Amino acid sequence: MLNKLNCILLAVLVWTFATTLCFAQEKKLSGKIVNESGSPLAGASVSVKNSKSSAISDQNGNFNITVPANAQVIVFSFLGMEPQEFAIGTQTIFNVRLKPNATILSDVIIVGYGTVKKGDLTGSVARIEREEFTRDAPTNILQAMQGKIAGVNVTQNDGAPGAGLSIRVRGSNSFLGGTEPLYVIDGIPFNNSSTGSTPMSIGEDEKQTLNAMSFINPNDIESIDILKDASATAIYGSRGANGVVLITTRKGRSGKDRIEANFNVGSAQVSKKLDVLDASEYAAYQNLAYRNSNIYTGTNYTLPYRGETIPDPDRPGQTYYNKSPQDFIGDTNNWQDRIFRTGLYQNYSLNISGGSDAGSHSISFNYLDQQGTVMNSAYNRFGLGLNLSRNVSKTFKVGTSTSFASTNTDGVKTGTDKSDAASAGIIRSAITFPSTIADPIAYDGVGDAFITNPYIYVNDVLNKVKGLNIFSSNYVEATFLKDFKFRQNIGFNYSNSARDQYYPRSVYEGFAMKGWGLKADNIWSNATAESILSYTKKFDKHNINAVAAGTYERTNGQSKRAEAKTFPNDALQNENLAAGEVIMPVVTNRYQSTLMSFLARVNYNFDERYLLTVSFRQDGSSKFGKDNKWAGFPSAAVAWKISNEDFMKNIKTISDLKLRFSYGKTGNQGIGSYTSLAKLSVYNYVFGGAVQTGLANDLFAGPANEKLKWETTSAYNLGLDLGMFKNRLNLHVELYKKITDDLLQNLIIPSSTGFRTQLVNSGSIQNKGLEVTLNGTVLKAKDFEWTSNFNIAFNRNKILSLGPNVTEQYGRNISTGDAPFIQTVGKPIGALYGYVENGYYDNEAEVRNDPQYTNQGNAIILRTIGEIKYKNLDNDPTTIGQGDRTFIGDVSPDYTFGFTNNFKYKRFDLSIFVNGVQGNDIINMNTRFNANLGTNKNITQEMADGAWAQGQDNTNATGPKIMRQFFRNLLFSRRFIEDGSFVRIKNVTFGYNVPLKSKTISNLRVSVGANNLLTFTKYTGYDPEINSYGDNPALFGVDLGGYPNSRTYNLSLRCNF
């Protein structure tokens, strides 16, 4: 059926295209075309309605045209200007002044496969203009979107240069499909997969992801439109459930060529350092730990810091002085200082653009060089953007928007989820590395403590990712039969990223293996073809706009990983893997997926009062089970422009009032290829000195699931737009409810099945929320203007079901034995489950009174004094076990907000942007890995001060006694969960437009700005804005010791020629 439809549609097109029109008799007209300020417009178009005649103005704006005798209306147009029509009558000279076309710049909203006038929107769509998002000099576009739009929650995964960001539109409605919205750049969908652009690392314990969108220079973007409700997103069908972000790149405008140059330099510093014990305090802490061990567990340790001369165990017959805590007084060694630095960055861009009636061009270059605040971490990008369009004839247009970017990321190991010290990553080791070790390189970190020496790691380890991105969106567009337009889009998208990694002998991994090198790369490409036919007609009070389209997308990807260990020396790093004694098997993978779609949409509006949008999309995806590849996604929306009703005409205060309601279905197919199939993986084994091939069911793929299908979200949206005082004050209120069914989930199935997880469709989630945006001009005087924009969003998430007979299930472990993410019917996705603490055992009697310890031996009773007491919540008081867990937190915020204030005084302007997140929890794994007081890891002053201690008032103790031991098993409790609420002065920018007499330079603006200037939070980690698991919605809000956030200061110069 669909095939036929497509064919007929296209056949009709060809036929109509071939039709031509005829003309007869003539007369001559002339005149001059100028712009608003009176300058002549060269290349402006002059045409006659219903006629073939047309002309173009010359250098001085003059034109001459011959028109048929019966011509009635002459039309003057110029790209970027409002066209003007005049009745010809007897007039032969027309001097015309064209005004900039306001609708093109701001009043037209991109809605996917078309545009719509802002006032005619029926769905929930928000827009950020160029000026708004380039103000704080962002280096990538996601950062530019942060806090600007109600209901769009952008979180940076960590603070590393080039690191990934996570974005959630109206809460999480998927466990597996990700929360990433669909990005569409100049009409071509872009799959923003951080994991796809992050090649594998050695050990694969690094959770840090790279930002796939980083190849786009924010300066090359004209506008960002975000589709939030289902009526707007349903046109993207199976990929619309997380919202759609439409990115429009900068195009040339009419007139003479313009040149814009941007210079941006700045510096970044970590916004916070943790207060850890200094050398003397650390030494005393260690002594206490050993002393308490001897007291409470009967060990016979000698204290590590004694202040005496002792025989050197490594050099018989010689002695050395073992320092006491006092000997360290005045030693201010802090490992954070050794790895943090002031990172400088520079960002330059140049754009040349222009246009005429014949077309437009925009060419841009960009260079970004960003040093991280951790030594030897850096990011740089070279980008090239090309945006060309050509009006081949009045009815035929071609164009391209192509960008090329080359990126380099110098990484350092942060954000790992393993507890052992060797894989702690440099942030965690900077906190925990003993401060008594003063010489940064004397201690090689290889001794029996196995603590990563952060200084050596940042200096010696190679970890680079090189990326190459090409994104190209091309079209031809033909107008025919007056009301029809046909557009063919061809998109191509290519990404290649390669990791180079080498652990030399100076660090633990490399020492043990005598060097460990890796080369890994990911390549993927995507081709899109879209055929779009649209029809626009206005008769009487009826306005119709209809779109029909067929699309086809194919993605191909592959990855490779080569690894070798044990090299003769470190000289070649990873450049000659064949020189390794131990060659690991090369791992390769290749995949492909296809998406085919047919879609249609009708917008109808009656008298600019009653608006209706109906759309339908049929999607077929290769990723799903064989009988579930196709699904349909309908939507409908109505709007009533109350302000256009007669009865409102007299209410002058209200300039705009519109009520909208929409319903629609969207899908999510954010899973990998082949997930519905059973897979055999390679599991080789050695027999008698030779490797033999072994194959078995893929442990992690789980059993096959032929029934696998889409996740479907049904969403309702009620919106109100109110403009008052000639739109000086605008209020937008959105109320929504979304229900997602057939959730795609990687369910943990009992490991006794021989699998770990299984991918299934089960369960449903509800999100409902309220978004309020208020913006307006607070004050407007002759030289002074104050505008404000405030947005706030509330989202409530609830799991409605988890599938038949399942009331709860658990998220993935976030480290050994910790699986605090519980999914329970009736609770939100980010609910946390764990034990409840109840103070400490202050004395022996208290221990013995606890039924857990009644029958234990003396050794256990004694060592338990000063330990954490957990509440018994089940019927078995003799054991604190899994039954004693309860709900202890939730990582979803209550609300998020953004507040921007812009002030303008004469040539000065000031912008202050504050954003905040309230009511969310963060799992602080730094604390989790370090809270076991008494190990050889350094701790914070706060932890040391709060420890339980014999003979002191322990009512306010915050931790167990400081003791070297190996029995203490800290259960997952609120101890590791903190309130992640924050309010942040995200950006302050102060600018000045320099008055110029020069004719070449039309505008020069200088500004200074600060990002992350001040943060108000109770979170004890580096920064509350952290999300170590990237776009995994089931593991949101975890701090694994990620790269700290930084405060940046920058100086910008913008120059227009």
Partner 1 sequence: MKAISTYFMASIVGLALLSTSSCKKALEEKPFSFYSPENFYRNESDAKAAINGVYAELWFTDLFYQPFWNITMLDDDHVAGADWFLGTTGAGNPQGYWGIDGPWVGCYTIIARANTVLENVANITDIDPDIKKRILGEAYFLRGWAYFQLVQLYGGVPIKLKSLSANNPETNVPRATVKETYDVVIADFKAAEQNLLPYGNAKAGEPGRVNQGVAKAFLAKTYLTMASGASTGNVTVRGGTDNGYYTYTKDVVKGLEGLDARAYYTLARDKAAEVISSNLYALTANWKDLWSIAGRNSKEHMWQLQSLAGSAFINNLNAYFSARSTFGVGAVWTTNNHYNDYDVQDKRVLDGITHNYQTLQGTYIFYPSWQSAQYKVVGGITYNNSGTTTAERAYTIKFSGVTDPTVVSSDAFYPMLRYAELFLMYAEAENEVNGPTTAAYNALNTVRFRSFPTTGTPAAPVPEAYAPAGMTPEQFRSYVLAERAREFNLEGVRRFDLMRWGVYLQVMNKIGTGQNNISKVRQQKNLLLPIPLNELNSNTAIKGNNFGW
Residues 521-580 that bind partner 1 (CB under 8 A): 529, 531, 550, 552, 565-566
- Per CB under 8 A, the list member of 83, 307, 568, 754 interacting with partner 1 is 754
Residue with Cβ nearer partner 1 (396 or 790): 396
Q: Which of residues 904-963 bind partner 1 (CB under 8 A)?
A: none
Q: Determine the Cα–Cα distance for residues 33 and 35; give it in Å rounded to an integer.
A: 7
Dihedral angle sign, alpha carbons of residues 789, 173, 157, 494: negative
Three-state SS sequence of 911-946: EEEEEEEECCEEEEHHHHHHCCCCCCCCCEHHHHHC
Q: Which of residues 586-615 bind partner 1 (CB under 8 A)?
A: 588-594, 596
Residue with Cβ nearer partner 1 (683 or 1016): 683
Q: Which of residues 303-362 bind partner 1 (CB under 8 A)?
A: 311, 313-316
- Binding segment for partner 1 (CB under 8 A), chosen from 37-45, 641-649, 673-681, 1043-1051, is 673-681
- Per CB under 8 A, the list member of 38, 750, 951, 995 interacting with partner 1 is 750
Maximum CA pair distance of the chain? 118
What is the smallest separation between the CB atom of 815 and partner 1, expressed in angstroms? Answer: 8
51: contact with partner 1 by CB under 8 A = no
- Per CB under 8 A, the list member of 13, 73, 983, 1008 interacting with partner 1 is 13
Q: Which of residues 850-869 bind partner 1 (CB under 8 A)?
A: 856-857, 859-860
720: contact with partner 1 by CB under 8 A = no
Residue with Cβ nearer partner 1 (363 or 583): 583
Residue with Cβ nearer partner 1 (84 or 824): 824
873: contact with partner 1 by CB under 8 A = no
Q: Determine the Cα–Cα distance for residues 653 and 724; give it in Å rounded to an integer.
A: 5
Q: Which of residues 128-157 bind partner 1 (CB under 8 A)?
A: none
Residue with Cβ nearer partner 1 (297 or 644): 297
Dihedral angle sign, alpha carbons of residues 153, 157, 159, 160: negative
Closest CA to 172 of 751, 901, 744, 603: 744
Q: Which of residues 965-994 bind partner 1 (CB under 8 A)?
A: 965-969
Q: Which of residues 500-519 bind partner 1 (CB under 8 A)?
A: 511-514
Separation in Å, CA 227 to CA 235, 717, 743: 10, 12, 22
- Per CB under 8 A, the list member of 324, 644, 655, 673 interacting with partner 1 is 673
What is the smallest separation between the CB atom of 671 and partner 1, expressed in angstroms? Answer: 12
Long-range pairs for 904-909: beta carbons < 8 A, 24 or more residues apart: 904/784, 904/785, 904/786, 905/783, 905/784, 906/783, 907/992, 907/993, 907/994, 907/995, 908/990, 908/991, 908/992, 909/990, 909/991, 909/992, 909/993
Residue with Cβ nearer partner 1 (554 or 737): 554
Binding mask 377-396 for partner 1 (x = CB under 8 A): ---------------xx--x
241: contact with partner 1 by CB under 8 A = no
What is the smallest separation between the CB atom of 597 and partner 1, expressed in angstroms? Answer: 11
For residue 953, the one-letter residue type is D
For residue 626, the one-letter residue type is K
Question: Which residues are within 8 A (CB) of 1002 and not within 5 positions of it... i.e. 6 or more apart?
Answer: 258, 996, 1056, 1057
CB 268 within 8 A of CB 343: yes
Q: Which of residues 991-1030 bind partner 1 (CB under 8 A)?
A: none
3-state secondary structure of 433: coil
CB 962 within 8 A of CB 285: yes
Size of the site for partner 1 (CB under 8 A): 122
Pairing state of beta strands 837-840 and 868-870?
antiparallel
CB 716 within 8 A of CB 734: no
What is the smallest separation between the CB atom of 121 and partner 1, expressed in angstroms? Answer: 31
Q: Which two tokens stand for residue 391?
A: 């009006």
What is the smallest separation between the CB atom of 511 and partner 1, expressed in angstroms? Answer: 7
CB 4 within 8 A of CB 23: no
CB 267 within 8 A of CB 344: yes
- Per CB under 8 A, the list member of 361, 499, 617, 629 interacting with partner 1 is 629
CB 432 within 8 A of CB 518: no
Residue with Cβ nearer partner 1 (20 or 1000): 20
Residue with Cβ nearer partner 1 (141 or 802): 802
Residue linked to tokens 């090299």: 567
Q: Determine the Cα–Cα distance for residues 862 and 868; give it in Å rounded to an integer.
A: 13
Residue linked to tokens 């954490």: 868
Residue with Cβ nearer partner 1 (476 or 648): 476
Separation in Å, CA 634 to CA 10, 137, 180, 582, 631: 23, 40, 22, 57, 10
Q: Which of residues 686-705 bind partner 1 (CB under 8 A)?
A: 686-699, 703-704
- Binding segment for partner 1 (CB under 8 A), chosen from 355-363, 364-372, 685-693, 761-769, is 685-693
Instruction: Give 27: exposed, middle or buried? Use CB within 10 Å, 0-12, 13-18, 19+.
Output: middle
What's the length of the chain? 1057
What is the smallest separation between the CB atom of 185 and partner 1, expressed in angstroms? Answer: 22
Dihedral angle sign, alpha carbons of residues 147, 148, 153, 158: negative
CB 36 within 8 A of CB 100: yes
Residue with Cβ nearer partner 1 (242 or 823): 823
- Per CB under 8 A, the list member of 106, 684, 849, 886 interacting with partner 1 is 684
For residue 759, the one-letter residue type is L
- Per CB under 8 A, the list member of 752, 956, 998, 1000 interacting with partner 1 is 752
- Binding segment for partner 1 (CB under 8 A), chosen from 42-50, 415-423, 647-655, 951-959, is 415-423
Q: Which of residues 421-480 bind partner 1 (CB under 8 A)?
A: 446-450, 476, 478
Closest CA to 78 of 61, 95, 53, 60: 61
- Per CB under 8 A, the list member of 568, 817, 851, 877 interacting with partner 1 is 817
- Binding segment for partner 1 (CB under 8 A), chosen from 323-331, 404-412, 816-824, 890-898, is 816-824
How much is the CA Rg of the chain, to the nearest whole Å?
33
800: contact with partner 1 by CB under 8 A = no
21: contact with partner 1 by CB under 8 A = no
- Per CB under 8 A, the list member of 350, 468, 584, 1006 interacting with partner 1 is 584
- Per CB under 8 A, the list member of 466, 679, 848, 974 interacting with partner 1 is 679
- Binding segment for partner 1 (CB under 8 A), chosen from 242-250, 638-646, 807-815, 919-927, is 807-815
Q: Which of residues 57-116 bind partner 1 (CB under 8 A)?
A: none
What is the smallest separation between the CB atom of 272 and partner 1, expressed in angstroms? Answer: 30
Residue with Cβ nearer partner 1 (630 or 790): 630
Residue with Cβ nearer partner 1 (754 or 826): 754
What is the smallest separation between the CB atom of 502 and partner 1, expressed in angstroms? Answer: 16
| Helix extents (H) in 264-400 | 279-297, 335-339
Residue with Cβ nearer partner 1 (583 or 1008): 583
Q: Determine the Cα–Cα distance for residues 803 and 809; give it in Å rounded to an integer.
A: 11
Question: Which residues are within 8 A (CB) of 15 and not within 5 positions of it... i.e. 6 or more apart?
Answer: none
CA angle 691, 692, 697 (to 5 degrees): 125
What is the smallest separation between the CB atom of 586 and partner 1, expressed in angstroms? Answer: 11
What is the smallest separation between the CB atom of 679 and partner 1, expressed in angstroms? Answer: 5
- Per CB under 8 A, the list member of 82, 107, 327, 420 interacting with partner 1 is 420
